[in-house]
Amino acid sequence: MKFEVLSRELIKPYHSTPQSLRDYTLSLIDELLPPMNLPTILYYYNDNLSSSSRCQHLKRSLSKVLTRFYPYAGRYIKESFKVDCSDQGAEFVEAKVDVSLDDFIGQTKNLKMELLNCLLPRPIGAVDGVTDPLLAVQVCAFACGGWAIGILTSHRVADMSTSSTFVKEWAITAKQLLSESFDECHDFPVSSWTSASLFPGKKLSCRPLGMPVAKENFEYHKIVTKVFSFKQNSISRIREMARLDKSSERLPSRVQSVIGIIGKAIIDIHVVADPGNSKEFLVIQTVNMREKTDPPIHKNQYGNLFLVSTAPIVASEGGVELDSIVDLVTRAVRGEVENCKRILSVGGEMIISDGFDVLTKALAEPEISSNLVFTDWCKFPYYEADFGLAKPVWISGINSPLGNNVYLFSDQYGEGIEAWVNLSANDMRKFEQDLNIMEFST
């Protein structure tokens, strides 16, 4: 496979950011988060546009939408814990690859996940430098006319909910421009970037992850990524198995049931490898706080607005039971939802800092098997991202350098769940042979 970058440029907001918004101060959550970019790749079949016309369309609409997502066009100033929103621009990369989209997707789903990283404009660890963009996109044309758009948004200023809203708004803008129905008033107010007023920063330094930054190193890390698809009927069966009270009609959620079956398999690997003593694990899951606070934070509020739930799991020589781990994870998430209700009152900063201390330690030491981090992106409507050309045929993550991490995406039809599991090579071989994983996933 031959991959080639054709051009690289900066796209500035269509309207200049007002002087009053040029200094964007980080929130407490922003400061505590690990330095990394959040990756998403969207794939599209041939839309009969030339690659040049398509990229011009995407550049024009990106410029328009950056006006209201103005921090994405700025640069982070580490020393002052601020983003300089002087419209330096988002990075836009054009590339091409000499294989068809179907062949490429077939390869990556079966074996060569590292190929996905070529579709990103830069590594996920290339952040916080004075010249690092906070938003970077790469549009890659396949030999068949299909294309993919790899999107990186800096976790320094926003979470995946914000990234998802950005992609949604970009697609809406692009579709309107293509039909010449663009409305300059189609906008969320720029005041949506106000998370620092809710959770003022303390100028705290985040923990480094030690992720490779250079792209040539990034592509050859030791973590193996594989996708495990859980279809609707399999999820229904797992939910039945995961019910702690068998006499109750109430079932655990779809997501927490899948987390349970995956978490059990990973935990059992380490219990079997060293059966002499009981072991403690932490199952970590992020919780979006939007619409859960009192008063409610709007669902389209931008920034980093989530908490971290931690479920301690004690596994004996026999491993851990599915219903037990799902119950503990469910209780932990419910606890953080309750915390959301009081997080805007006195003491909210302690709720934030306690949870993020656990998360950053887990991510900084990804080879420690006692920490399992799950991130649920199932509800984000990436499959609706129609830039006026077509809806995507697949949404993917990447070959992540962070071990013991699992990212959950909804499938194309919104019925199943695709789990992107990132483990060491040795653990992945054992994980694939787990009887529950073999039975319930494809």
Return the closest-CA partner of residue 45 out of 393, 320, 313, 373.
393
Active site annotation includes 298: no
Catalytic one of 30, 132, 155, 327: 155
| Contact indicator for 58, 94 with CB cutoff of 8 Å | no
pLDDT for residue 194: 92
Altogether, the residues listed in the chain come to a count of 442
- Residue 219 has a pLDDT of 47
Confidence (pLDDT) at 317: 72
- Mutual angle of helices 232-242 and 322-342, in 10-degree steps: 90
Q: In what order do the strands lie in the sheet with 147-154?
A: 3-11, 90-97, 135-141, 147-154, 37-44, 394-396
Question: What pLDDT, on the 0 to 100 scale, is given for residue 110?
Answer: 65
C-alpha dihedral (126, 127, 133, 137), degrees to nearest 10:
50
Cis link prior to 39 (omega < 30° from 0)?
no
Domains of the chain: 3-218 (3.30.559.10), 223-381+400-440 (3.30.559.10)
- Catalytic choice (47, 103, 386, 411): 386
Q: How far apart are CA 328 and CA 339, in angstroms?
A: 17
Regions in the chain scoring below 50 on pLDDT: 185-188, 214-219
**What local confidence, expressed as pLDDT, does residue 427 receive?**
94
| CA-based R_g, the chain, Å | 21
Among 87, 67, 72, smallest CA distance to 22 is for: 87
Q: Please report which residue ranges of 157-245 form alpha helices under DSSP H.
A: 160-178, 195-198, 215-218, 232-242
The answer to whether 386 is a known catalytic residue is yes
Q: Global pTM? A: 0.92
Helix axes 322-342, 348-364, angle to 10 degrees: 140
Find out whether 168 and 42 touch, Cβ atoms under 8 Å: no
CA dist 43 to 146, 255, 301, 368, Å? 8, 24, 27, 34
